[in-house]
Structure 1
Amino acid sequence: MCGRIDQSQPIEHYLQQRAWPGLVNASAAEPKFNVAPGTFRPLLHRVDDHYQVDDLHWGYQAAWASGKIPVAINARLEKIGGKYWHPLLKSGRAIVPADGWYEWTGDKGVKQPWHIHRSDHAPLFMAALASFAPAGDNKASAGFTIVTADALGGMVDVHDRRPVVFSAADAALWLDPDLPAEAAEMLAREQALGPETFAWHAVSKAVGNVRNQGAALVAPLAEAAPVRDAAHRN
């Protein structure tokens, strides 16, 4: 986790739960049911005294780390206080809004995908770390990564990691530039929504191909309509 997300609603849908003062939506990304790393996706952050939505590359690599440290799509909560992540924890906190994420269980070749979402179907506010500096030759140097923690409760049966997901109020606190890095880390440890908040169901194996899109991808497997696989495989 987390290597595929469902971000299938317009950004306005995710942000309607609360007021985001001075919100500027600079995103041009289209809603997608099947979002993979390496693409540019909308995320919410603070710019001076207002909130802003920008499209950033999913995957981060510090500019100096090219050829030394792989591009990361996730940042482990246990490590975000370390030297590599601390600069972003201090001034690059962001939120990835989404409807859910996907995980796979089973053996290679017969893996079953699952769609994980809030049981009340409210939007997810995933904690992220991002660099908004000019990308230069390395687009991942201006990218984002989703913060993950150990899975708990029944969620462990699906995957041993989960994204750190906040309520809308705690998402706003995570973005507050006056919140010290250490306090932000504690917020992620203590206020992330627990496994009892989530539900999951099996979905079509067509989600395995990132070119496949459409609502059928997130339908419970027994109800899933046929989905044309772009690579003509299951």
Structure 2
Amino acid sequence: MCGRITQTKEMKRYAKRLGFDPQLLIDFPEEAINNYNCSPGAPHWTMRLHDGMLVAEEIKWHWLSSWAKKKGMTPAINAKLEKLLTPYYRGLMKQGRIIVPADGWYERIKSGNERIPWYIKPKSGEELFLAALTDHEPGQPDTPGVGFVIVTNETAGGMVDIHDRRPLALTAEDAALWMDLSFSYEQAEQVARQSALTSESFDWYQVSKDVNGHKYRDDHLIQPVEPA
């Protein structure tokens, strides 16, 4: 996963797709997000369960563990599914399971000296719910390194031609289970492992190289272009 997603709809629409009563939503903005180029290092909308309510939060897309800080490492943006049960992620798996709502994501493949972007979206046209982890606590101010990472798994079924990993997308029902902290982290890992949407659920096609920059965020980025 190269690290760009799209968030374009109203947060309440994503919540409705999850099946939550509007009375159980906290801090959900009314307007559409309309960001067709969400990139790491910036805050983006997430959802989590907190005291039985569904909470919307803008959290930075990066995470720096205390171990990584000591080593002087750069922040991570992804967490591999196969490593979720290791001690490195255990704290986040116990207390920091969140969902990043999305409509699709980009992958960029190298072709000579260029990076050619492709857009991947669900064939159904429905909203995506990406499994993620955070060390951000609801209502607390941001501090350096605090943020979220998106869980990724190995690509299969043809999408490997685009990239060898992809974000772990869940159905609405399984996304709700992932956020439910009454489930153990081992149970949550099984939900992620067994319930991720397969490659057959997606379409993908080449798009504008404007995705490679940060200044473009409008919907021309997801329009198909002729393959280079």
Q: TM-score, normalised on structure 2? A: 0.90
Q: Cα–Cα, structure 1 residues 207 and 136, in superposed 2: closer, same or farther, change >3 Å?
A: closer
Cα distance in 2, alignment partners of residues 207 and 192 from structure 1:
26
Task: Work out the percentage of aligned pairs sharing the same amino acid.
Answer: 38
Cα distance in 2, alignment partners of residues 135 and 46 from structure 1:
18
TM-superposition CA deviations, 1:62-92 (whole Å, max 9, x none): 2453142431100001111111111001110
| Cα deviation, residue 17, structure 1 | 1.8
Cα distance in 2, alignment partners of residues 96 and 193 from structure 1:
15
AA of the residue aligned to 1:42 = W
TM-superposition CA deviations, 1:124-183 (whole Å, max 9, x none): 100000112446651x22x00000000011110100001110000000011111110001
Structure 2 equivalent of residue 101 of structure 1: 105
AA of the residue aligned to 1:144 = F
AA of the residue aligned to 1:196 = E
| Cα deviation, residue 203, structure 1 | 0.3
Q: Alignment partner for residue 136 of structure 2, among 132, 136, 144?
A: 132
| Cα deviation, residue 9, structure 1 | 1.9
Q: Alignment partner for residue 51 of structure 1, among 48, 51, 54?
A: 54
Structure 1 vs Structure 2 CA RMSD: 1.8
Unaligned 5+ runs, structure 2: none
Note if contact 2:60-2:148 (Cα within 8 Å) is conserved in structure 1.
yes
Q: Which runs of structure 2 are paired with 1:159-170 in the superposition (5 Å)?
A: 159-170=163-174
Structure 2 equivalent of residue 25 of structure 1: 27
Structure 1 equivalent of residue 16 of structure 2: 16
AA of the residue aligned to 1:57 = K
| Cα deviation, residue 217, structure 1 | 0.5
Structure 2 equivalent of residue 34 of structure 1: 37
Alignment of 1:84 with 2:61, yes or no, is: no
Structure 2 equivalent of residue 231 of structure 1: none
| Cα deviation, residue 121, structure 1 | 1.2
Q: Alignment partner for residue 217 of structure 1, among 203, 216, 221?
A: 221
Q: TM-score, normalised on structure 1? A: 0.88
